[in-house]
Amino acid sequence: MTTAPAAEPAGDSSLVQAAREGDRAAFGGLYARYARMVHGILLARVPANDVDDLVQDVFLRALPRLCDLRDVARFGPWIAAITRNRANDYYRQTRAVAAVTESLPEDEAELPASNTAPDAQAAMILAFVRSLPDAYRETLILRLVEGMTGPEIAARTGLTPGSVRVNLHRGMQQLREKLNQASLSGTIHHDSCSERNSAAQDKNALRRRNEP
């Protein structure tokens, strides 16, 4: 994953400086700019049902650490790293909780309730995306689910535009291969019309899955 001093989104430095001085509105501006990126990075790594809560947690963790950010023009790559670390923490905590609940009597172990059935096709496509290499799945979700453009992904994450293009191209190739294999095996059912529009359907299905 190649990083470069991509062009800073206008105003990031001033927002970071103001947020460091206690300006909550400035930090809100950073949240507005980077929430989609944080959401996409998390969605590439953790269960979709937990993503929204973790987005909030990432920004809550970032706020008191702003003084540790050496280059105020690199807020995007900095909070992206915090997000990836939070995803890693999620799995460490999940394993710890699992170890505790396994030792409880069956009637004392509480399972999370689910009020809605997930869209099966969207869940399957998301599973395929998340089975891709880290760089591909993260960039692909930022593009397909969060609706970020290639240049925007580069500017926000600190990746070079060339790396983003390569990640998107190779990621889409691998995703199409997985979808084609699933289609041939009968996992996905569609007619010739839907086949011609599969790319748009996949994109919309993923977005619907993650709407509040």
- Give residue-wise pLDDT tens across range 154-204: 999 999 999 999 999 999 999 889 888 887 776 554 443 444 444 455 555
Check if CATH label 1.10.1740.10 holds for domain 12-209.
yes
pLDDT higher than 80, residue 31: yes
Domain locations along the chain: 12-209
Round to whole Å and give the CA distance between 168 and 86: 24
The pLDDT value recorded for residue 113 is 39
Sign of dihedral through CA atoms 83, 86, 91, 94?
Answer: negative
Residue 3 phi, psi (nearest 5): -115, 155
Distances (CA, A) of 157 to 41, 74, 121, 149: 10, 9, 29, 12
**Percent of the chain residues topping a pLDDT of 70:** 70
DSSP letter at 21 equals: T
Least confident of 7-11, 93-97, 107-111, 158-162: 107-111
- Give residue-wise pLDDT tens across range 176-186: 898 888 877 76
Reported pTM = 0.70
